[in-house]
Structure 1
Amino acid sequence: MDFGLSQEQQMVVDTVRDFVEKELYPHENKVEELGYVPAEITKEIREKVLSLGFYAANIPEEFGGGGLDHVTLSLMERELGRASQALSVIFGRPSNILCGCTGDQIEKYLLPAIRGEKNDCIALTEPDAGSDVRSMKASALKDGDDWILNGTKHFITHADESDFAIVFIATGEEETSRGTKKKITCFLVDKDTPGFEVRDGYKCVSHRGYNNSILNFDNCRVPSSQILGEEGTGFDEANTWLGATRLTVAAMSVGRAQRCFDMGVAWAAERKQFGQAIGKFQGVSFKLADMATEIQAAEYLTLGAAWKLDQGISADQDIAMAKLFATEMLGKVTDETLQIYGGMGLMSELPIERFWRDARVERIWDGTSEIQRHIISRGLLRPLGS
């Protein structure tokens, strides 16, 4: 593995970091105060990203996207992680699962998403089906060449800004070696489809402005032509395309931790108590040393997993390790930085308390820390027949 950045990778890092600092940072306080991103700001940011040529950088070139390799994409996500989630999402990374579009779906969903004309959201989680996806209760029954969808999804981020939802729903059962399991099918459902309602979700302390929604399906009729993939293969589709989102979470956690840490270092060097900078006290300096070490370790884990993907090497275990370590590292870094700031760290005049709040959700969404530990331990024990 080459640890040096290519000229192209360095250009991506420099360009995205400059964009984040100049175009996203200035809007963070307003988004935090309002709890949403004003439409004019969304439009302005999207147009600037499109002009840069970075929109849909995660989509392979064969589909019309930027085609960045996984390592370069992780570097880009690391830089975007420095900014508010509500703003960085506007940078435009359509869900990779849309690469599974076929026929008319390409013109209706994939290409508009790549051009920034349409936004998507992933609808998987339910009130009683979070980590255990197979236990979902939302279901669809076939009616001629259509399907009738009923049920509820929740914690669906960015649904309020989306034009269509990528919905995973139970369409029957199948017998397996481990007993009866639900068959999951993936549907593309337009927001204006009768019977499909998007409601405001719950108020969350993490990532204000990047809102979650509740999706209700009440006899929502969808044609079979809007099945993404094939009937009953939704679980496989999710595993094929959505695993990389965990790597994105890891990369963004590294970027956010670095921004918070940099502020902590500056404060430790400037803040004086008992006649000297607090960074000279071992209680503070050792915190800085530990944080710097863990940030770098998380970055290497993340880039190592991305490198394996680029080499065509199975990386499920590596991605789980990166997501687990990076998100837990972010929690420690934000908490320790807040401790270094003392009382000021909890004041809304500084972004430290926001970093601290935002960090908490990273250990939950896209697979909890417990799920990542399960993936890692399963990878260790299965080859031994356990």
Structure 2
Amino acid sequence: MDFALTEEQRLIVETTRAFVENELYPHEMEVERTGRLRPELVEELKAKAIEAGLYAANMPEEAGGAGLDTLTWLLYEKELGRANYALHWTCVARPSNILMAGTPEQREKYLFPCVRGEKADCLAMTEPGAGSDLRGMKTTAVRDGSDWVINGTKHFISHAEEADFTILFAATGEEETPRGPRKRITAFFVDKDRPGFEVSAGYRNVSHRGYTNAILTFDDCRVPEDAVLGEVHKGFEVANSWLGATRLQVAATCLGRAERAMAHAVDWAATRHQFNQPIGKFQGVSFKLADMATEMKAAELMVLEAGWKYDQGTVTDSDMAMAKLKATEMLAMVADEAIQIHGGMGLMDELPLERIWRDARIERIWEGTSEIQRHIISRALLRPLGA
């Protein structure tokens, strides 16, 4: 097995890391302390990201993106993951690749403007009563003549306040299955200015300050037939076709933050003296570093292997679930131990450790909780045996 990066991959890693350290790090303290991104700062950093070729780099070349393969994209995401989430997600946007499922007309209206930085998208699935159980969603879309009428509520919708349109998933009927009735789901484009569509502020969150969530309310909101993304009743199929690697994206950003926390911990262990010697000389600290490094290596190998298999067309849901599970739980452990090594100083906001520690908590929840990932993994083991 060849673990070496290609020259192109090394260049992408170096370019992205330099951008993160030179352009994003300097603004982290402001975002952490104010909890918001100034619009003028977003535009400034967006322009620099576009100039550097980092904006919408996840998108195919045919859409105007960088056309990165999955493995290279994950290396890019890892470097971006070192910075405050709001900064790298909003200012170095990666439009949802589900936009590729649109018709030529939909691509012109939604996809290409997102790639150019003229528009922003958000994805609306989660509801107050339907998180992991997406089939339990209560938001409905009912056909009325040539329109669809949407009613319902979504919440925890990331950066919806900044988005120009929403990719909405709604129940559009039922089908009979051996386990009883099951809702059929359809995806829709809903422009922010549609009558009956309201975006309101969501909940205050300890993780990812500046990266907002919102509550979306649909009250007899009408959209035309050409707002359907993919086929009617085939919303999950289009989502599964285009959103599968988002768990790997979460995992990759966790790798970057863990490396940043580890670097601080190693530096502190080597330079902080107690009892006339560096604290790294004590097994209570040195063994922590060893365990942290081992967990980081294991998580990185799992994430990059899953990315490589994705490109080969051999990746399984279990591969991606394992990678997401390992990387998110590894980050929680590394962030916690890095703070422990620093003692009280680790909790002060002069260092990024307390932010990394706070931010780590949500990673085991969104894009599928750790429990959901374990369910996927165990199901793959037991189903072939009929269990």
SS of the residue aligned with 1:127?
Answer: coil
State the distance in 2 between where 1:361 and 1:49 align.
26
**In the alignment, which residue of structure 2 is the partner of 1:94?**
95
**In the alignment, which residue of structure 2 is the partner of 1:311?**
312
Matches within 5 A, 1:224-303: 224-303=225-304
**In the alignment, which residue of structure 1 is the partner of 2:24?**
24
**In the alignment, which residue of structure 2 is the partner of 1:82?**
82
Comparing 96-105 with 284-293, greater Cα deviation is found at 96-105
State the distance in 2 between where 1:195 and 1:34 align.
32
Give the CA RMSD over aligned residues.
Answer: 0.9
Deviation, structure 1 residue 178: 2.4
Deviation, structure 1 residue 58: 1.2
**In the alignment, which residue of structure 2 is the partner of 1:321?**
322
Matched, 1:210 2:211: yes
SS of the residue aligned with 1:355?
Answer: helix
Q: Name the aligned partner's letter for residue 314 of structure 1.
A: V
Contact 2:306 2:315 in 1 (8 A): no
SS of the residue aligned with 2:229?
Answer: coil
Give the alignment's TM-score, normalised by structure 2.
0.98
1:144-191 CA-partner distances (Å, limit 9, x unpaired): 010111110000011111100111111111112322100110001111
**In the alignment, which residue of structure 2 is the partner of 1:159?**
160
State the distance in 2 between where 1:291 and 1:328 align.
12
Give the alignment's TM-score, normalised by structure 1.
0.98
Q: Name the aligned partner's letter for residue 376 of structure 2.
A: I
1:205-256 CA-partner distances (Å, limit 9, x unpaired): 0000001110111111011101100111111112221121110000000000
Comparing 83-92 with 169-178, greater Cα deviation is found at 169-178
State the distance in 2 between where 1:17 and 1:106 align.
31
Deviation, structure 1 residue 63: 2.8
SS of the residue aligned with 2:171?
Answer: strand
Comparing 48-57 with 164-173, greater Cα deviation is found at 48-57
Spell out structure 1 runs of 4+ moving beyond 3 A: none
Deviation, structure 1 residue 44: 0.9
Q: Name the aligned partner's letter for residue 36 of structure 2.
A: Y
Segments of structure 1 that go 5 or more residues without pairing to the other structure are none
Q: Name the aligned partner's letter for residue 360 of structure 1.
A: R
State the distance in 1 between where 2:44 and 2:380 align.
45
SS of the residue aligned with 1:231?
Answer: coil
1:110-158 CA-partner distances (Å, limit 9, x unpaired): 1111111110001000000000000001111110010111110000011
Q: Name the aligned partner's letter for residue 381 of structure 2.
A: L
Aligned length: 386
Deviation, structure 1 residue 192: 0.7
Segments of structure 2 that go 5 or more residues without pairing to the other structure are none
SS of the residue aligned with 1:171?
Answer: strand
1:245-282 CA-partner distances (Å, limit 9, x unpaired): 11000000000000011001101111111111111100
Matched, 1:71 2:54: no
Identity %: 64
1:62-85 CA-partner distances (Å, limit 9, x unpaired): 333211000100000000000000
Matched, 1:385 2:376: no
